[in-house]
Structure 1
Amino acid sequence: MPSAELEQRVTAALASVIDPEIRRPITELDMLERVVAGDDGRVLVVVRLTIVGCPASDRIERDVRAAAEQIAGSGLVDVELTVMTPEQRAALTERLRGGRARTNPFGPGTLTRVIAITSGKGGVGKSSLTANLAVALAARGLSVGLVDADVHGFSIPGLLGLVDDEGTPTKPTRVDEMILPPVAHGVKAISIGMFIEPTEPGQRASSVAVAWRGPMLHRTLSQFLTDVYFGDLDVLLVDLPPGTGDIAISLGQLLPNAEVVVVTTPQAAAADVAERSGVVARQTGQRLIGVVENMAGFVSPDGTVLELFGSGGGAEVAKRLSAGQAEPVPLLASVPLSVALRQGGDAGEPVVVSAPDDPAARAIEQLAGAIASRPRELQGRRLDLSVR
């Protein structure tokens, strides 16, 4: 095969190599510097990494070699890795942002469905539900991002398995001022736990306390939305802290088109508190789309149901939040207590992946189906249309 033709065919094959962090072909990202074919049939492929020490370098090199060898032949490809210049990185970040300045892409006019998961109190399994819902939506072919806005009680990295053996969360990659979120089970996730460092000798990073007041919390959420490159998302889930504090108010300012799902348990006391979080969401301009009852009756092996936390709390919250509203707030799902769900959370394997036939997994899949099939609300959104 003539050298010029070999170079063209190898270049075309390299379009199938996807950067594992940016999720785009390396040929679109200007990462492919050159392809040179010699008279002896050997091919040299030079690839520009985005940064020095790129954590995805081994995978990129392996994928590039495999794609090129499909054309040139086994053992006939040499891969050389270099690093982008500051100017090339700046051009890349501008291209990824579509030429727009650093702004929140999920504000008014966004076509991404933004869903905030909230609860009136802690300990109701909100984060476990959010992580599993994100994975279930991604398994349906949707592009899903997840923001862990529970700054004081972050747990999303551990629930998704984005931690090492010591419990240290995976660090995002930085390309200049752009942050590339780690990906697990098809979900792009970001959490304050990925940035903090131990403050004492021998301390686990996952146990570091974050003691911040309102302004810092608002700034953190704003930076997650502005500086993290999620790409084009179908759904952005936001795991809110429990209660009705600063983050809930900031969400109303930063994500005015967010839809809200309220999580409660069957207990009457929990239902009372959950109602408050729904009321605050409505006061800050968000739209309540439903209630999820978590920790419902445990299904024992003989089929009997043990209602350890009582029953009816989810339906009661939905009823109260529907009162006086033109559109009722439905009970979207009732997720039973589940050993498999707890085990999956501890192991970083969401139950929808580790035990899809578990009753809790089936209930979460039902929830994902209800959300995925729900018509998108366009009222109050700016549609960028022009008439010629």
Structure 2
Amino acid sequence: MGLEGEQVHQSGSGWSPVYVEENLGVMSVGFLLGSPDDAVIWRGPKKNGLIKQFLRDVDWGEVDYLIVDTPPGTSDEHLSIVQYLSATHIDGAVIVTTPQEISLQDVRKEINFCHKVKLPIIGVVENMSGFVCPKCKKESQIFPPTTGGAEKMCQNLNVSLLGKVPLDPQIGRSCDRGQSFLSEARDSPATLSYRNIIQRIQEYCEQQHSLEEKMI
């Protein structure tokens, strides 16, 4: 996001998010550390307390979407977020995997976790899905999907595959520089994939909200 070195400011209505753009505010534990190299060595209660503060004490204002980027796996952070937001009717979870079986094993557990806590699954995104050579345009599988990848897993578990994002070195460079990949590489196959995924997520959320309004 290009927000290294930023600090959280307190206002009368709570913590103020750090804004990347006028319509994109960010809150991160990284803003609260003395150095970017500091480790966060916290037990559950302290982590849960900070999650609650981020949800309750940040002056988010009117938002269209609140996106929570969680650590991999099924740790207590996930359970805390689901519990704290249960009254808000969460739209759902977007689960990200890579094609290798070792990644799919963790994601199957995450899908099972979502089912157990009754958290809707918007869909699955397969990251690092092939590599398209920028010169010859030939596609190669850097991480071969030996068990069928995310597509096969989604079919078996009856969840939606939102899309596949191919490897693109520009993604890493844009992230390191805090720049928008979608603006920096408009013609990349990865950009097209991102936009299609975003569109499908928006359509899902709008459909869910429409159903909720009809029920009311």
CA distance in 2 between partners of 1:210 and 1:332 (Å):
32
2:130 maps to 1:297: yes
Sort the Cα spacing of 1:304 and 1:289 in 2 relative to 1 into closer, same or farther, 3 A: same
Secondary structure of 1:372 counterpart: helix
1:272 corresponds to which letter in structure 2?
Q
1:294–1:336: 8 Å Cα contact kept in structure 2? yes
- What corresponds to 1:182 in structure 2? 18
CA distance in 1 between partners of 2:85 and 2:46 (Å):
17
2:59 maps to 1:218: no
2:13–2:59: 8 Å Cα contact kept in structure 1? no
1:317 pairs with one of 128, 142, 153: 153
2:121 maps to 1:288: yes
Sort the Cα spacing of 1:224 and 1:376 in 2 relative to 1 into closer, same or farther, 3 A: farther
1:188 corresponds to which letter in structure 2?
G
CA distance in 2 between partners of 1:180 and 1:303 (Å):
45
CA distance in 1 between partners of 2:157 and 2:41 (Å):
33
CA distance in 2 between partners of 1:378 and 1:336 (Å):
31
**1:104-135 alpha-carbon deviations (Å, 9 max, x no partner):** xxxxxxxxxxxxxxxxxxxxxxxxxxxxxxxx
CA distance in 2 between partners of 1:307 and 1:238 (Å):
30
CA distance in 1 between partners of 2:213 and 2:138 (Å):
51
2:31 pairs with one of 182, 194, 201: 194
- What corresponds to 2:3 in structure 1? 162
CA distance in 2 between partners of 1:190 and 1:320 (Å):
36
CA distance in 2 between partners of 1:174 and 1:277 (Å):
35
Secondary structure of 1:315 counterpart: helix
Task: Judging by fraction of residues, say which structure has more helix.
Answer: 2
1:252–1:281: 8 Å Cα contact kept in structure 2? no
CA distance in 1 between partners of 2:163 and 2:121 (Å):
15
1:178–1:229: 8 Å Cα contact kept in structure 2? yes
2:139 corresponds to which letter in structure 1?
V
TM-score calculated relative to the size of structure 2: 0.89
- What corresponds to 1:330 in structure 2? 160
CA distance in 2 between partners of 1:303 and 1:382 (Å):
46
Secondary structure of 1:174 counterpart: strand
Secondary structure of 1:360 counterpart: helix
Q: Kindly state the Cα deviation for residue 365 of structure 1 after the two structures are TM-superposed.
A: 0.9
CA distance in 2 between partners of 1:247 and 1:381 (Å):
27
Runs of at least 4 residues of structure 1 off by over 3 A?
378-383
Unaligned runs of 5+ in 2: none
Identity of matched residues, %: 30
Q: Kindly state the Cα deviation for residue 362 of structure 1 after the two structures are TM-superposed.
A: 1.5
2:57 corresponds to which letter in structure 1?
D
**1:33-59 alpha-carbon deviations (Å, 9 max, x no partner):** xxxxxxxxxxxxxxxxxxxxxxxxxxx
Q: Kindly state the Cα deviation for residue 269 of structure 1 after the two structures are TM-superposed.
A: 2.0
Q: Kindly state the Cα deviation for residue 333 of structure 1 after the two structures are TM-superposed.
A: 1.0
Aligned ranges for residues 73-88 of structure 1 at < 5 Å? none
Aligned ranges for residues 108-147 of structure 1 at < 5 Å? none
- What corresponds to 1:75 in structure 2? none
CA distance in 2 between partners of 1:237 and 1:193 (Å):
16
Unaligned runs of 5+ in 1: 1-159, 198-204, 323-328
1:318–1:331: 8 Å Cα contact kept in structure 2? yes
Secondary structure of 1:332 counterpart: strand
2:200 maps to 1:364: no
CA distance in 2 between partners of 1:171 and 1:382 (Å):
39
Q: Kindly state the Cα deviation for residue 378 of structure 1 after the two structures are TM-superposed.
A: 4.9
TM-score calculated relative to the size of structure 1: 0.51
CA distance in 2 between partners of 1:187 and 1:288 (Å):
24
Sort the Cα spacing of 1:320 and 1:215 in 2 relative to 1 into closer, same or farther, 3 A: farther
Q: Kindly state the Cα deviation for residue 207 of structure 1 after the two structures are TM-superposed.
A: 1.0
- What corresponds to 1:44 in structure 2? none
2:208 maps to 1:377: yes
CA RMSD of aligned residues (A): 2.0
- What corresponds to 2:106 in structure 1? 273
- What corresponds to 2:84 in structure 1? 254
2:177 maps to 1:347: yes
1:292–1:335: 8 Å Cα contact kept in structure 2? yes
2:65 maps to 1:235: yes
2:125–2:164: 8 Å Cα contact kept in structure 1? yes
**1:173-230 alpha-carbon deviations (Å, 9 max, x no partner):** 2114601101114311100011121xxxxxxx11110011111111111100101111
Matched residues, number: 207
Q: Kindly state the Cα deviation for residue 249 of structure 1 after the two structures are TM-superposed.
A: 0.8
- What corresponds to 1:41 in structure 2? none
Secondary structure of 1:266 counterpart: coil
